[in-house]
Amino acid sequence: MKHLLSIDDLDGADGIEEVMRLTDSFMEVSQRQIPKVPTLRGKTVASLFYEDSTRTRLSFETAAKRLSADTMSFSVSSSSVNKGESLRDTALTIEAMGVDAIVVRHSSSGAPHRVASWVDASVINAGDGWHEHPTQALLDSYTILRRLGSLVGRHVAIVGDIKHSRVARSDVAAFTALGATVTLAGPPTLLPPSLEGWPVEVSHDLDALLPEVDVVYLLRMQRERMTEALLPSLREYTATYGLTVPRARRLRPDAIVMHPGPMNRGVEIAPEVADLPQSTIVEQVRHGVAVRMAVLFLLLAAEPSAGAAERVRALAAEHELEPLVPEGVR
């Protein structure tokens, strides 16, 4: 795999499960006293973010540093984009400095694909418009696996502004590939005009849906992407689709509450619900670093012919480290 632009680049359950196994190994590295391995020494990872980010940007940079890669960070607000430099020229300029991977976030769907067509470096989609956010879906899948053991036969409700959500698109692809059933819940105006080809059910009755699900995944109300009036008011949205305290009581005791962040506390999720033990929001961020280490490893360190765990063990032996993956795990 040269680039990670979409969940489809992982070729279904096998590829996603390979990332999950590698993530287990890198979770172990992250818990060490010195959470660092020399795996990507000599490699350089650049962040090319045309949109704001806290979690994705910091966790890619942390992941690259924990793998001993050099990092280069680009911020639109202090760059020559403000002098009119194009995306193509910016990407080629960064590549000319010698980078092995470029992590791209952009408000236009397809921008990372365009960058991948211009540069020789590996390109990772860190969120493009309404299209995809594949590493978010991988860290979400990993979080469900850690909490619930498996996605097979699990029922996930994704609630809210599906229309503008790249997270929903990547999550539906990853969760269903791993065997879950997904129901989308939200007002008709916040669903895509057509759901043809989406392997999902749809519900407009969150109260009826909640007792049936293992996971309720709340999406942020993306007011910055709404160019038309799609809701009477946020207050009405919260009354119908917000995970309020009374509504959270309808969940089964073992169900979990997820959100990609950043949250609008008091809109899609009540502050008290965000802080419940069933909420995995902070855990998702923690897992994000190890997931992104796994993705950088696969793109920049892996030999295509060997199994992923075998490659981690070989690297550990080469650098005289404790094995990252136990013998017997493929």
Count residues binding ligand CP (CB under 6 A). 9
CA 266/CA 268 separation, integer angstroms = 6
Name the residue nearer to ligand CP (CB basis): 158 or 324: 158
Count of residues making up the chain: 330
What's the distance, CA 121 to chain centroid? Answer: 21
Closest CB to ligand CP among residues 56, 62: 56
Q: Which is nearer to ligand CP, 21 or 55 (CB)?
A: 55
Residue 276 CB, shortest distance to ligand CP, in Å, is: 20
The one-letter code for the residue type at 149 is: G
Annotate each residue in 200-239 with x if it binds ligand CP (CB under 6 A) or - if it does not, as one string.
----------------------------------------
Taking CB under 6 A as the criterion, the residue among 129, 261, 307, 323 binding ligand CP is 261
DSSP type of residue 231:
S
Q: What angle do CA 49, 144, 170 make, to 5 degrees?
A: 40
Q: How far is the CB of 167 from ligand CP (least distance, A)?
A: 7
Shorter beta-carbon distance to ligand CP: residue 136 or 143: 136
CB distance 7 to 177 below 8 Å: yes
Residue 186 or 260: the one with the smaller Cβ distance to ligand CP is 260
Site string for ligand CP, 9-38 (x = CB under 6 A): ------------------------------
Structure tokens at 99: 């980078």
Amino acid sitting at position 141? S
Q: Look at the block and give the residue holding tokens 């984009």.
A: 81
Q: Residue 25 or residue 47: which is nearer to ligand CP going by CB?
A: 47
CA–CA separation, 274 vs 245, rounded Å? 10
Rule CB under 6 A: say whether 127 interacts with ligand CP: yes
* Torsion sign across C-alpha atoms 217, 224, 101, 75: negative
For residue 265, the SS3 value is: strand
Provide, rounded to whole angstroms, the least separation between the CB of residue 68 and ligand CP.
23
Q: Taking CB under 6 A as the criterion, which residues in 43-102 touch ligand CP?
A: 53-56
Residue 260 binds to ligand CP (criterion: CB under 6 A): yes
Q: Which helix (H) or strand (E) holds 327?
A: none
Using CB under 6 A, list all residues that contact ligand CP.
53-56, 127, 136, 260-262
